[in-house]
Amino acid sequence: MRLASLAMYISPPPVAEATTMFWSFLRNTLRDEGVEDVPEALDEQVRYDEAWRHPDLLLAQTCGYPYVKHLRGKVRLVATPIYGHPGCDGPDKCSFIIVGRDADARSLEDLRGAKAAINEPDSNSGVNLLRASVAPLSRDGRFFSSVVETGGHRNSIDAVASGIADVAAIDCVTYGNTLRFDPERLSGVRVLAETVKGPGLPFITRASATDAEVGVLCRALERAAAEPALAKARDALSLKGFEVLSDTDYQPLADLERDAHDLNYSVIA
């Protein structure tokens, strides 16, 4: 049986429920197209980032920064979703740099010496885009006084709201889902700035997949984006469609890392 894992946006609960509905449609469509060994349900046992390199991967969603750092040549791009949240522009999206609701900061410069929260080191939205924003302001490779790793964007929101951290970068899709379905979580924070935009989280499959298999996956996603019976699920996901991007389209995310390195700010510090 192939592996399917769509674990990047699975909260709050309405998003998780819509993702399950979305997969059910894809599963049936792929089976109707003659694809073999399509799993009944999305995998919940394999860690999301381990699924990306699984030899039996049928479909998963990764982050653009891990893609350009670790996955090029080891997976195949399928299509990139287009979301309707503020901060999204076609397949591109930004992160919102948040601070505490009552924080004095009014500009990025005001964050010098602050405590930063990151979700995980290889995150595009939580690290790469934040680093690109503050790298020009860094001095001798430092900008923040300390950095705490939270393990997830919602945890980073909570860290800022509670004062454990002063600042975090939250991808606009997570922020939009939270604002819509769990607004109380954002009551203790505010948006200070937006990062630059870059290509969003692509759907991928295993490197050994044939062109025909990738084509079937693309067609299934296109059908899911237009299927009337999925309107409610798409609305919950704020999903507007898909765009097929190339490896070259993701290069700007690697360029952001290179530019920060050139400014002697290779890591968030």
CB atoms within 10 A of CB 121: 13
| DSSP letter for each residue of 37-81 | S--SS--SSS-HHHHTT-TTEEEEE--HHHIIIIITTTEEEEEEE
Backbone angles phi, psi at 150, to 5 degrees: -100, -20
Q: Take residue 250 and report the two structure tokens written for it.
A: 């993701």
Q: Which string of b and e fits 134-149 if b means at least 16 CB within 10 Å?
A: bbeebeeeebbeebeb
pLDDT digits (tens, 9 = 90+) for 188-209: 999 999 999 999 999 999 999 9
Contacts of 181 (CB under 8 A, 6+ apart): 12, 13, 14, 15
Among all chains, which residue has been given the structure tokens 């509905």? 21
Question: pLDDT class for 40, splitting at 50, 70, 90?
Answer: very high
User: Mean per-residue pLDDT for 244-260?
Assistant: 98
Question: pLDDT class for 154, splitting at 50, 70, 90?
Answer: very high
Pairing of β 167-171 and β 115-118: parallel
User: Mean per-residue pLDDT for 238-245?
Assistant: 98
Question: pLDDT class for 94, splitting at 50, 70, 90?
Answer: very high
Distance CA 131, CA 124 (A): 9
Question: pLDDT class for 96, splitting at 50, 70, 90?
Answer: very high
Q: Is 179 exposed, middle or buried (0-12, 13-18, 19+ CB in 10 A)?
A: middle
Ordered by where they begin, the domains of the chain are 3-89+199-254 (3.40.190.10), 93-198 (3.40.190.10)
DSSP H or E segment with residue 146: strand 146-149
Instruction: Please state the pTM of the whole predicted model.
Output: 0.96
pLDDT digits (tens, 9 = 90+) for 48-65: 999 999 999 999 999 999
- The torsion defined by the Cα of 16, 21, 24 and 29, in degrees rounded to 10, comes to -130
DSSP H or E segment with residue 222: helix 211-226
